[in-house]
Amino acid sequence: MARKPKGNKIDGWVNLNKPVGMTSTQALAAVKRALKPQKAGHAGTLDPLASGILPIALGEATKTVPYVQDSIKTYNFTVTWGEQRSTDDAEGHAIATSDKRPARADIEKILPAFTGDIEQIPPQFSAIKVDGNRAYDLARDGEEVELKPRHVYIETLEIVSHSDAETAFRCVCGKGTYVRSLARDMGLKLGCFGYISRLERASVGPFTLENAISLDIFQNPEHNLTPEQVLLPLQTALDDIPVLALREQEAARLKNGNVLSFLSKPDLERMTQAGIEWGNKNIVTALTTYDKKAIAIVEIEGPELHPIRIFNV
């Protein structure tokens, strides 16, 4: 007999605004203590120095974490000029200094070199694995490792404000981008060095600061939280893929792992109305629902729907 999972059956997302000074794991633990879900995980680590959006998946929503991790992200950050630091942020010690300070016009000239598809070397203090060890563990032991450049995508990088000592930026970027590396590399290109002194993640895909929830709400028992007060639907993470509504019998078959075949004209018209180009040779990913509840993520190849993530909600 299968053992009943511990915790509450809760499925959905918490759009958490993580404060400075706390790890992502600590923030996740606070949410788990308050709601006691059966399963929980976060979609993308934020450093203790950073604040902002930390999407937390509960229950069946954990199956959609990879889709959030692949989302476009927005960062607001400040670079302080004149120093390069061991961690590329304010937590490290100075390893190089300069009396030079860049003018705004000088910074604007180099921004195109850091926009689009670029190569970036991760910081020494990062979670990249080197021979089975985390780079930050090796760095803390005083070992300098050679990290390979990675291809990342930066959609936009713009100056928000500028003074002699520091410059505030806004960056929209893809998966795997290290903002600390961006600050380090801009400082090196300008010949003045630089490090991150403030970092805020303003959005992760559909999760934004506008509807984010303060961690204080989870830490204060007086709030008497219920999941309905703080949860976003499981399908929030899948807002950029088509949604196909199913009939009851179709939903039951799909939840059992069966492949559905949409062969009749009305069925094909349903796919067209959902924005699914079923006639092309490409495989299309879509979310299927019944009675507004998520049933499964499917891959559609021709007229066939193959379940790849089935939700037990």
- Choose the catalytic residue: 47, 88, 89, 185: 47
Q: Tokens for 107?
A: 């910074």
Q: Are 14 and 225 in contact (CB under 8 A)?
A: no
70 among known catalytic residues = no
303-to-115, 220, 256, 266 alpha-carbon distances in Å: 40, 51, 19, 12
Query: Which residue is listed with tokens 């939280």?
Result: 225
* 3-class DSSP state of 276: coil
Give, as one character, the DSSP assignment of residue 1: -
Report how far residue 142's alpha carbon sits from residue 138's, in angstroms, rounded to the nearest whole number. 7
Residues near 222 by beta carbon (within 8 Å), at least 6 away in sequence: none
H or E element that contains 57 = strand 51-58
Report how far residue 49's alpha carbon sits from residue 311's, in angstroms, rounded to the nearest whole number. 35
Residue (of 76, 58, 47, 70) closest to 15 by Cα position: 58
- Catalytic positions are 47
